[in-house]
Amino acid sequence: MKELMIGNKAIARGLYEAGCAVISSYPGTPSTEITEFFSKYDDVYCEWAPNEKVAMEAAFGAALRGKRSACCMKHVGLNVAADPLFTMSYTGVNAGIVICVADDPGMHSSQNEQDSRHYAIAAKVPMLEPSDSQEALNFAKLAYEISEEYDTPVFLKMCTRVAHSQSIAELGERKEVTKEYSKNPQKYIMAPANAIRRHPFVEERTKKLTEYAETSPLNRIEDGDGNRDFGIITSSTSYQYVKETFGDSVSVLKLGMINPLPVKLIQDFAAKVGKVYVIEELDPIIETHCKNIGVEVIGKDKFSILGEFSQKSIEQAFDLADKTVFRLDTDIPVRPPMMCSGCPHRGIFYVLSKNKITVLGDIGCYTLGSAAPLNALDMTLCMGASVSGLHGYNKAGGAETESKTVCVIGDSTFMHSGITGLVNIAYNGSNSTVIILDNSITGMTGHQQNPTTGYNIKGDPAGKVNLEALCHSIGINSVRVVDPYNLEECEKVLKEELAKNEPSVIISRRPCVLLKYVKPKKPLWVNPEKCRGCKKCMKFGCPSISFRDGHAVVDTTLCVGCGVCAQLCPFDAFESEVPCND
Amino acid sequence: MTKNIMIVGVGGQGSLLASKLLGRLLVDEGYDVKVSEVHGMSQRGGSVVTYVRFGDKVYSPVIENGEADFIVSFEKIEAARYVQNLKEDGTIIVNTQQIDPMPVIIGAATYPEDIISEMKDKGIHVDDIDALALANEAGSSKACNIVLMGRLAKYFDMPKEKWLAAIEKIVKPQFVEINKKAFDLGYNC
């Protein structure tokens, strides 16, 4: 059966067909859908772990026991999981392990543009890189064969354009694979005496995998129609742009295995053509390898190290004719993403902004609190850094900063890596105020359950972390819960907690307005006879409110009736009953 | 020959269903198809774009400047934002709905009300319709996307029945009638 599917769904299918029985992941764009699609199969186990390190270790445990397993993450998630990764390279596997990692060139939804291929090289773990959905499915299956044959975890590396592009893939049948577990301390206990013996194995394995790369069908030469002037070495989505531009008119070495890279195959290819171009997004990984093995190539001198490519990048680099393009004279206002109408985060950000509080932020929808008109954030670094960063900020600033600085972190991000930062605040005693934005879901990545929601990936009831009890047990005495729709309450509690001479946690609790069970209320409207055009409500940055003809106007198709704007209006112009048009 | 369709709009406007409809229809017709969209942060009320490409063999999942045969815009200035992607002889179908972006809401920028006239003055083939009104007529403001697909279908050499059959396959049974009506209103206006 053939199906049009995104690359991430194709990976899920490939993992399933290969007999993968356990997946543990943490959501992160553009990797999330792999795990979501996999969770829809009935005869497998699938979960959201609190973070990528936990996920990778769970996958390791499952493979140790004898079931093929996988974990999926975005590029920055691999930083979190790097600790188990480097030593799993030494232990190798029992049943196969596939690590799916999705890069985000162009940073559509990420805080940096790091290139995951460096990890494959550094950890000495093979990495496959598909260029469309069919390859994603096939490579996922092949990854398990390589994993078990060469005794290694295997990376499956995606990028946004492969992960989120739909193309046609042919589906196959699932096969079951189970390995026996037997105790093997020399292989699985990585104490120095054993690890010393495993390291040579890893080096030998890389040599064998390099030999495999020379002849594997993963890497193939597509002979151009007799054109020997130049050849192109490429991989992943860049391959598609090359083919889009040149069709079958140039010779291409298409690499599906990105670590280890072949030597002889590249040298032979280069010998057959004139100039050799390496076209790869982000860092010059293939280019550097070519240069190391004595093959002269043109790479980053001609193709950017920044952002995503397209056929246009190739056309420009080869000076191909420009297409006719319509240009308008009028400036089109930008449309940045923003917090939704009725977003519970907006209320707390309004209060922080109004009180001129320094706010260390974290990763999630609430990063959008940095946008105008609230401009509420001072810092966003990585998952959990708001809490640990606040501690350092206050240790450096002392009483001067403690009374006017907070951090904000979502429920899922707090579970991911905020807890240890709070432990540090309690243990090393900074007078810090941590705000947990508990909207009862992992929001930005598209509504995944997490340990605070009480439901698992399938939506079934599950264990539920009690945030208040957790904070108390860490040693935070002052834990307050506020409703972010109640501005007065938020401001009062914020001031009280900042004034206290002890660490405190404020839990701003209200479910994400996009959750299905959150029913919108009737939209508000602005009574033009009461509105005096003071624009106080415009400081709130609600997308439902705009200003026309001297008055505020509510877009009733967007408004969910949260009523926070009404708390800002000095003239009670926001009313809940829209008058009948007749 | 590969054909290129872009669907542009504001995050949350329902472009996903429109691209799903196109994908289903074109696969059933036996084409090679690629559909590409970006998930995540930009979906939160930001400007969103979906690329649909079909033909005998499709390589790139994206559509670049001057390459789109059709652009279907769910909102007025989003049409203007992506018109550079239109081919010289391409058609841009525009829903005349206006959704203010944040810079306009806070007064840092003004909404260019006459942008459709400007596009027409530049010789661009603009097909502007009030899809929101037609969707309401069909029974739901959410059916805007299918009204616009109905409009797009007019330009295709493919029987209307095939589009309607694809709608039946992808829409929940209780919404099929509204969406078929919305499609017809777009197709016939």
Give me the pLDDT at residue A36, please: 98
CA A194 vs. chain centroid, Å, equals 35
CATH architecture, domain A2-215:
3-Layer(aba) Sandwich (3.40)
- As to burial, measured by CB atoms within 10 angstroms (0-12 exposed, 13-18 middle, 19+ buried), residue A89 is buried
**Checking DSSP bridges between strand A574-575 and strand B32-37, what pairing results, if any?**
unpaired
pLDDT category, A556, cuts 50, 70, 90?
A: confident
* pLDDT tens digits for range A511-529: 999 999 999 999 999 999 9
Interchain CB distance below 8 Å, B40 and A371: no
**Pairing state between β B68-73 and B86-95:** parallel
Task: Tell me A339's DSSP state.
Answer: P
pLDDT at A578: 66
Q: Measure the CA–CA gap between A310 and B65, rounded to whole angstroms.
A: 11
Nearest to B101 among A310, A326, A334 (CB): A334
A336, pLDDT greater than 50: yes
**Phi-psi bin for A321: left (phi > 0), alpha (psi -120 to 50), beta?**
beta
Question: Inter-chain contact A311–B64, Cβ cutoff 8 Å?
Answer: yes
The CA dihedral of A424, A426, A428, A434, to the nearest 10 degrees, is 70
- Average pLDDT, integer, range A352-358: 97
* Residue pLDDT, tens place only, B64-78: 999 999 999 999 999
What are the tens digits of pLDDT across the range A460-503? 999 999 999 999 999 999 999 999 999 999 999 999 999 999 99
Give me the pLDDT at residue B42, please.
60
pLDDT tens digits for range A283-330: 999 999 999 999 999 999 999 999 999 999 999 999 998 888 999 999
**May I ask the CATH architecture of the domain A344-509?**
3-Layer(aba) Sandwich (3.40)
* Cross-chain Cβ contact B62/A4 below 8 Å: no
Q: If you average pLDDT over every residue of chain A, what do you get?
A: 96
Q: Which of B40, B42, B112 sits opposite A332 (nearest CB)?
A: B112
The token pair at A204 is 């030998």
Q: What pLDDT score does A582 carry?
A: 41
* Domains in chain A: boundaries: 2-215, 219-317, 344-509, 525-575
**Closest-CA distance of chain A to residue B44, Å:** 5
Between positions 529 and 558 of A, the ones with CB within 8 A of B are 535, 538, 541, 543, 545-547, 555, 557
**Full-prediction pTM beyond 0.90?**
yes
Check residue A579 and give its pLDDT: 64
- How far B188 CA sits from the closest chain A CA (Å)? 26
Chain B residues in contact with A336 (beta carbon < 8 A): 46, 101-103
A180 burial type by CB count under 10 A (0-12 exposed, 13-18 middle, 19+ buried): exposed
A chain contacts of residue B44, beta-carbon cutoff 8 Å: 337-340, 365, 368, 444
User: Does A219-317 match A2-215 at the fold level?
Assistant: yes
Residue B180 pLDDT: 97
> Which fold does the domain A219-317 belong to in CATH?
Rossmann fold (3.40.50)
Please answer yes or no on whether B35 and A166 come within 8 Å at the CB atom. yes
Q: Which residues contact A192 (CB under 8 A, 6 or more apart)?
A: none
ipTM of the complex as predicted: 0.95
A388-422 pLDDT tens trace: 999 999 999 999 999 999 999 999 999 999 999 99
DSSP β-bridge partners for residue A3: A169
A380, A370 Cβ separation under 8 angstroms: yes
Q: What is the mean pLDDT of residues A232-238?
A: 98
Q: Which residues of B touch A338 (CB under 8 A)?
A: 44-46, 102
> What's the rounded Cα separation, in Å, for the pair A361 and A436?
11
Bigger pLDDT: B61 vs B45: B61
Structural domains of chain B in order of their starting residue, each with its CATH number: 3-188 (3.40.920.10)
**Count of CB atoms situated within 10 Å of the CB of A563:** 15
Three-state SS at A509: strand
Question: CA-to-CA distance for A70 and A342, rounded, in angstroms?
Answer: 37
Buried b (16+ CB within 10 A) or exposed e, B142-167: bbbbbbbbbbbbeeeeeeeeebbebb
Query: Which residues in chain B touch residue A339, judged by CB atoms under 8 angstroms apart?
Result: 44-45
Q: Which residues of A touch B45 (CB under 8 A)?
A: 335, 337-340, 543
* Second-level CATH architecture of A525-575: 2-Layer Sandwich (3.30)
Q: Does A371 lie at the interface with B, CB-CB under 8 angstroms?
A: yes
- Cβ-count burial of A466 within 10 angstroms (0-12 exposed, 13-18 middle, 19+ buried)? exposed
Alpha-carbon distance B67 to nearest alpha carbon in chain A (angstroms): 8
Q: How many C-alpha atoms does B48 have within 13 Å on its Cβ side? A: 27
Which runs of E-coded beta strand occur in A416-566? 433-438, 478-482, 504-509, 525-526, 545-548, 551-554
CB-CB contact of B60 with B82 (8 Å): no
Report the alpha-carbon distance of residue A11 to residue A133 in Å, rounded. 8
